[in-house]
Amino acid sequence: MSSFQQAIAAMPREVYERLKTAVELGKWPDGAPLTPEQKDTTLQAVLAWQSLHNDTPDFMTIAKGGEIVMKSKAELRRQFRDEQEIVRQNVN
């Protein structure tokens, strides 16, 4: 196992979440933009982490085992319908 794979296997979920957000926004939490090289490396780390730990993949992610998952609109509607409602407010 390479040192990259070992680092990914030991990476806490909190670090994965920060890296994922950085890739999505194109910047680090302090606002500094990711360089193209940082974006590539960070994206590789996010995908590798997902392939090891992602038991409940979202739309268009890598599931545990490395399988690419793309959920249909019907599956996403079912998923969000079944989630417990947090709050509902009438704006009128």
Q: Which token pair is 72?
A: 């249909």
Out of 2-6, 13-17, 65-69, least confident range: 65-69
This model's pTM is above 0.85: no
Residue 50 and residue 63 in contact, taking contact as beta carbons nearer than 8 Å: yes
Q: Is the pLDDT of residue 55 over 80?
A: no
Residue 8 and residue 48 in contact, taking contact as beta carbons nearer than 8 Å: yes
Q: pLDDT-derived band of residue 19, with 50, 70 and 90 as boundaries?
A: very high
- Report pLDDT digits (tens) over 68-80: 666 666 765 676 5
Please state the domain extents for the chain. Answer: 3-82
- Please classify residue 3 by burial: count the beta carbons closer than 10 Å to its beta carbon, then call 0-12 exposed, 13-18 middle and 19+ buried: exposed
